Amino acid sequence: MTKLTTRDSNGHDVRIGDSIRVLSLDMDAFDFLQENERNDIESMIDEVFEVEDTYKSGTAKITKSLNRGRGRSETHTITLLPMQFQLVQSTLAGV
């Protein structure tokens, strides 16, 4: 099985397991969500996440988990276009 890679906003190869920083999001795409959920998504901008998957379309999947207290948690999973993220650290040695 071939592992797919994508490229970030600077043209660097990005693989599953790499760390990326979210640069921007089109918040209009999340208008259907409740305000608190939109705020959670917007808080992902400028944060660093591990790439969970990459797709032929060039997108990368990430997830943010939030502790809501009293044993409750919430997660948001989104896919990003290459222009929306930047490689922070590669899983490849020396990169």
pLDDT digits (tens, 9 = 90+) for 41-80: 999 999 999 999 999 999 999 999 998 889 898 899 999 9
pTM higher than 0.85, yes or no? yes
Supply the mean pLDDT for the chain.
91
Taking residues 24-35, report their average pLDDT: 93
Q: Calculate the alpha carbon distances from 92 to 6, 13, 26, 34, 61 in Å.
A: 14, 10, 30, 39, 19
Domains in the chain (CATH in brackets) are 6-87 (2.30.30)
Given a cut of 60, whether residue 1 has pLDDT beyond it is no
Where is 89: in which H helix or E strand?
strand 85-89
